[in-house]
Structure 1
């Protein structure tokens, strides 16, 4: 007997529009930001490097 179909939770429906607006960050920009952020803030700076690279791209793309 097949399992009954379950509807996704409300939070899943709210996350999907965010995923549709994903950015395509060039790989070279990601690597450069990781190197710069890592050299300035040590290992802790590597994790937010990609997010920090996305901020100016979003600000420039806004009409």
Structure 2
């Protein structure tokens, strides 16, 4: 596999993950702030907390899978 095709594959996967992550983030934000009526500040705090909990868990895990 040439370097160009590896780069193209990585770029493709990057954009797929970026679109999926953005869509899920927007959906979660809308669910909390509009559907459950908790407000923008509270929903942002909840989602930032979930993100930080995942980040800390990932950084403290023994394996890098």
Q: Give the alignment's TM-score, normalised by structure 1.
A: 0.40
Identify the structure with the greater helix proportion: 2
Question: Which of 1 and 2 has higher RCO (CA within 8 Å, sep 6+)?
Answer: 1
